[in-house]
Amino acid sequence: MDIAVIIPCYNHAQTLERAVRSALQQSHVTQIVIVDDLSSDGSAACARGLCAADPRVQLDVLERNSGPGTARNRGVALANASHILFLDADDELVGDFAGLSARLFEQNPSLIVVKCEVEFFDPIKGYILPAYDPRHTSAILSSSCGMVMERSRFLHMGGFPQGAEFRGPMGGEDVAFMQAVMAHFQPIARVEQVGYRVWSRPGSHLDKFLALTRLNAAGSFEYVPDKARQIEADRVAVAVKHYLDNVALRLSSTLTNAQ
């Protein structure tokens, strides 16, 4: 099997090479698709240099800034591998997660998705969000990164949501996508080995998630009460439900047509 790594990029010229180099070190990776979301910091120029250095790397530049969901969808459309792996431009793959995933798929033909363990690193604080923190698993399962899945299944579900509701401060396109994956594409293999490293930075989704949550006496976590955030969260929740309904409809139609 072959794997295409999809890298959405918006103003990550300083970290893009690190991400791409980590993807190039993976076995079974035959293609790396960088989709530049109309960056203004030289990301596209950096990507062109990486394309020139290795024929597996290709670049597509969106005509207008459209958000990570659209960028990932475009990357998958340009991919020609049987499987896809999402990597953010400011993160990196660890070890040979792609190769490990390929072996699992070959050994278990019924598998649809493989998700690896993730480590979270802050350049100032060091490693953060340890595995015993109840937010650790939530952060992993709400992100499409560190996951290999069949490209055909992704296309059948219609990809990531692209609505304006998912481009606000709460984001949410990853959460909606992963809810759909977990609802429709079992079995999902969880790999205990770390295969993905998230680099936290001020203003990142991880940074916001940690700032907005706190551990509670029940051994779980909760969101810090905030009226403005709750209004935004409710708006995103409506959009997520609409997306999930559309995915279910698409998959039902695909199954009916196949029969």
Q: What is the token pair recorded at 209?
A: 């998630």
Q: What is the token pair recorded at 201?
A: 């930075």
Q: How far is CA 42 from CA 12, 36, 53, 66, 133, in A?
A: 8, 10, 17, 18, 37
Tell me what the mean pLDDT of segment 97-113 comes to.
95
Which residues, in sequence order, are CB contacts of 11 under 8 Å at separation 6+?
39, 40, 41, 43
Lowest pLDDT segment from 39-53, 134-148, 201-215: 201-215
- Length of the chain as a residue count: 259
Residue 120 pLDDT: 97
Residue 203 maps to which CATH number?
3.90.550.10
- Judged against a pLDDT cut of 90, whether residue 227 lies above it is answered with no
Per the structure, the count of domains in the chain is 1
Tell me what the mean pLDDT of segment 196-214 comes to.
88
Residue 201 pLDDT: 86
Mean pLDDT of the chain, nearest integer: 93
DSSP state of 145: B
> What spatial distance separates the first Cα and last Cα of the chain, rounded to whole Å?
26
Q: What is the token pair recorded at 218?
A: 């029940």
Lowest pLDDT segment from 153-162, 201-210, 235-244: 201-210
- What residue type is 50 in one-letter code? L
- Judged against a pLDDT cut of 80, whether residue 18 lies above it is answered with yes
- Judged against a pLDDT cut of 90, whether residue 179 lies above it is answered with yes
State how far the Cα of 118 lies from the Cα of 99, in Å rounded to an integer: 16
Expressed as residue numbers, the domain containing 125 is 3-258
Q: What is the token pair recorded at 47?
A: 């990507």
* Helices vs strands, H then E, count in the chain: 9, 11
**Cβ atoms of residues 69 and 94 within 8 Å:** no
